[in-house]
Structure 1
Amino acid sequence: MPNTQVRSVKSTEGVNRIKRSPRKIRRLGLSLLAVILLGVIVFLLVPSPIEPVKWLAPTAPSFQKADPWKQNNKLSAAQLVSDAPQFPEFITFDKAGQLYTGDSDGKIYKVPFDAEGNPQKAQVFADTKGTPNGLKFDAKGDLIVTDIKMGLLSINQSGSIEVLANQVNGKPIYLANELDIAQDGSIYFSDTSNYGRVTFKEIAENKPHGRLLKYDPMTKQTTVLLEGLYFANGVALSADGDYVLVAESYHYQLTRYWLKGPKKGTSDIFADNLAGFPDNITRDEQGHFWVGIFTTRLSFVDQMHRSPWLAGIMAKVPESLLSGASAPAKHGLAAEFGPQGELIGSWHDPEGSLYGVTTAASHNGYLYIGTAPGGSKGVHRVLLTK
């Protein structure tokens, strides 16, 4: 005969455990909630690493209206030229029409073309051991490079590298980014930020840390032309060499510095309220400027600039957690401007197969597209049909 008394005791103990379990769960939940609330309070009380400046960013242009920013599919049919360079930040060509571009791992690639204009296998031309961004051939045929880690470099045809400048006025060139070369050999290039790296804190802070520099190959001296730029980026000279442009990525504008004429030594705004973050600038044979737009406008960034308190809070968030929020929108975009700053047209890939555009370079009937980490990979091109 079964022991009903023992069974009854065990049954009672099981019921008691079931009754106590919800209490334990509630206590555990309340403890966890208290820890979270304490963490939030501590997070809010910890001082922000920056002192943000309020900025009412202009309303972003619409891609739907019938204006030069109107959305189209001109970049959607892009052809892959080479996938050897993963992120071809900038694109230039030598006198023979061979394409050169740098990659984020330090390598600079050369891509030749056959008689029909078809791209051939990419070859490694040089390795800066840094991150080469801007590239341009000088009159001697040497490749001048702005490397964000190494400074301003010169690379001869055998691949030998010489550092031209990594300091100005006794202080470091923090982040040499893009360049152009004048007819007299002067090299104009951007020093993006004294932060020395790309960081979300800078965009949240909304203070200007960039510069436009000039290197004189005769005196081998580097001078500062402009300071106080909001993330100084792409650089391009006008066809006549009377001014030089520099992109201010974080304020969606192109700034013009006058080199000749009655305005010499002064600066003004060449184009403003761009539909995204302008990156590199190239000039075509018509004297027009092509601007790569790394990402279209990010609404949360514009909203953040309206509230220094919110910007300060965002700057405390670990950047590893913000990588997704600051990634480029999957919408390829490049813009063409006339010599007076007028927007002629825009080229889009709303499908997002080609995005994170840094460079748009017109060459032999094609528009060549470069990108940076965070965007699509490889060198692409599309026919220059209007």
Structure 2
Amino acid sequence: MPISRRLLAVAGVPVAVAIFVVIAAPYIIAPPRIEGAKDVLHRAKPIPVPGEGPESLDWDPQGEGPYVGVADGRILKWRGEVLGWSEFAVTSPNRENCSKHVPELEHICGRPLGVHFEKKSGDLYICDCYFGVMKVGPGGGLAEKVVDEAAGRKVTFTNHMDIDEEEDAIYFTDSSDKYQIRTVFNAFMSGEKTGRVIRYDKKTKEAKVIMENLHFPNGLALSKDGSFVVVCEPPSLLVHRYWLKGPKAGSRDVFAKLPGYSDNIRRTADGDFWVAIHSKKGVFPQFALIHPWIGKFLMKTMKMELMVYLFEGGKPHAVAVKLSEKGEIMEILEDSQGKTMTFVSEVQERDGKLWFGSVFMPFVWVYDLN
């Protein structure tokens, strides 16, 4: 059911106010138009997923998949239209009450977000936002823990990752050391810079914090030559770049500024990047983010469904931004009215198609670039 239809029952505000918000939001705080954007993503093909929130996607070294993680702790594998989805792995052995997604049981059942195959081993690495970075072998089954702390602090919101296979290093984001996914809007609206980026050396087993004091760092990707890593910081609309090699090694700068609040970022075969935009930069979120005390007040007085509705400007939609290896915006695609796609969390380009995941919806989508 669309968020707007559930609003009156769950908003936690007087009915008259809720009615006003539902009616007025699409006109007063509607998401802005993006100059040069192509409104084409409504043509994408949806593929239903038997689970909520397939946030991230990846393919195994044989090209099979995609594989996605869903909110009840399972990793699923797409086997084509005839065979559909099959269960490949789980991130927790405690599956007794995990046949469907129950937010209060996520810390028991697991909640996989970013997924990434290591090509040379065939192992699938998983960012479970409660358990840390995990991995499972090519045969699937129960994933095992790889790392869940760095610099003496537990990782509490493992989100997205990339792997440098030459250096045997994993880079991943810990979005907040205070909030978890059930209170994700608190992390976003509080203004608190409690996130960090971590490098894990698989040989030495050392986890080193390379960036900290970030406001909800989310998607992460390595450059094609491994000289830098880019990290999305959605509340600031920025993509940061941290230099790993060369004369700037150990320093950071701004790689790009985006027209909305990003989720994951994935590199293409050519070395460019696709960024999933959860929602465009709008009046309400900008006002609330500039004044964190307003955001904190709203989080205490509104349900998350209403907050999401306001962030989306009353019109859930989908945007994908392509960045060059220098951080220049190359292309912007969108479904401005959310006719087919909403709440996108990741975009991957593969064989002339774009594949999309969603942190909320029970779908992945495929858009043909040709």
TM-score, normalising length: structure 2: 0.80
Q: Which amino acid aligns with 1:132?
A: P
Please state whether the residue corresponding to 2:62 is helix, strand or coil: coil
Q: Is the 8 A contact 1:81 1:119 kept in 2?
A: no
Structure 2 counterparts to residues 178-217 of structure 1, below 5 A: 178-183=160-165, 184-197=167-180, 198-217=183-202
- In the other structure, the counterpart of 1:342 is 328
The answer to whether the Cα contact below 8 Å between 2:31 and 2:280 also exists between their aligned partners in 1 is no
Other-structure match for 1:175: 157
Q: Aligned AA for 1:189?
A: F
Aligned CA distance change for structure 1 residues 111 and 267 (closer, same or farther; 3 Å): same
1:5-59 deviation digits (Å, cap 9, x = unpaired): xxxxxxxxxxxxxxxxxxxxxxxxxxxxxxxxxxxxxxxxxxxxxxxxxxxxxxx
Q: Secondary structure at the match of 2:285?
A: helix
**Cα distance between partner residues in 1 of 2:320 and 2:260:** 10
Partner of 1:224: 209
For residue 177 of structure 1, what is the amino acid of its counterpart?
A: N
Q: 1:306 to 1:320 in 2, by over 3 A?
A: closer
Shift of 1:199: 3.6
Q: What displacement does 1:265 show? A: 0.6
Going from structure 1 to structure 2, the CA distance change for 1:326 and 1:227 (only over 3 Å counts) comes to farther
Q: Is contact 1:82-1:121 (8 Å) kept?
A: no
Give the whole-Å Cα distance in 2 for the aligned partners of 1:88 and 1:362: 17
Identify the match of residue 90 of structure 1 among 56, 61, 80: 56
Q: 2-side partners of 1:164 and 1:311: how far apart? A: 35
SS of the equivalent of 1:316 reads helix
Q: Report the number of matched residues.
A: 315
How far is the alpha carbon of 1:73 from its aligned partner?
2.7
With over 3 angstroms needed to count, the CA separation of the structure-2 counterparts of 1:324 and 1:294, relative to structure 1, is closer
> Which amino acid in 2 is paired with 1:122?
W
The 1:85/1:61 distance shift into structure 2, 3 A limit, reads closer
CA offset at residue 196 of structure 1?
A: 2.9
SS at match of 2:271: coil
Measure the CA separation in 2 of the matches of 1:64 and 1:280.
20
* Cα 1:258/1:325, change in 2 over 3 Å: same
- Per the alignment, in what secondary structure is the counterpart of residue 76 of structure 1? helix
Q: Relative to 1, partners in 2 of residues 1:326 and 1:156: Cα closer, same or farther, differing over 3 Å?
A: farther
Q: Is the 8 A contact 2:32 2:282 kept in 1?
A: no
Look up the match of 1:254. Answer: 239
* Counterpart selection for 1:330 from 312, 316, 328: 316
Match of 1:125 among 88, 97, 119: 88
1:316 alignment partner, one of 284, 289, 300: 300
How many Å separate the matches in 2 of 1:320 and 1:280? 21
Unaligned runs of 5+ in 2: 1-29, 92-108
> One-letter code of the match for 1:330?
P
Q: Report the CA distance between 1:107 and its aligned residue.
A: 0.8
341, 348, 351: which one pairs with 2:337?
351
Task: State the shift of 1:211 in Å.
Answer: 0.4
* Residues in 2 aligned to 1:61 and 1:298: alpha-carbon distance in whole angstroms: 5
| 1:383–1:209 distance in 2 versus 1, CA, 3 Å | same
**Structure 1 residue 237: Cα displacement:** 0.4
| Local SS of the residue matching 1:301 | helix
Describe the shift of the 1:136–1:202 C-alpha distance in structure 2 as closer, same or farther (beyond 3 A): closer
Kindly indicate whether the alpha-carbon contact (under 8 Å) linking 2:200 and 2:207 is maintained by their aligned counterparts in 1.
Answer: yes
Give the CA deviation at 1:275: 1.6
Do the aligned partners of residues 208 and 219 (structure 1) sit closer, same or farther apart at CA in structure 2, a change above 3 Å counting?
A: same
Task: State which drifts further: 327-336 or 150-159.
Answer: 327-336
Instruction: Pick the structure with greater CA Rg.
Output: 1
Picking from 136, 148, 156, the partner of 2:116 is 136
The TM-score normalised by the length of structure 1 is 0.77
Give per-residue Cα distances to partners, 1:203-261, cap 9 Å, x unaligned. Answer: 33313111000111101121101001111100100000000011101111111010000
Alignment of 1:1-386 (within 5 A): 63=33, 65=35, 67=36, 70=37, 72-98=38-64, 99-113=66-80, 120-128=83-91, 129-138=109-118, 139-158=120-139, 159-183=141-165, 184-197=167-180, 198-272=183-257, 274-307=258-291, 310-319=294-303, 322-325=306-309, 328=312, 329-352=315-338, 353-373=340-360, 376-385=361-370
Shift of 1:62: 5.4
Report if aligned partners of 1:97, 1:112 keep a CA contact under 8 Å in 2: no
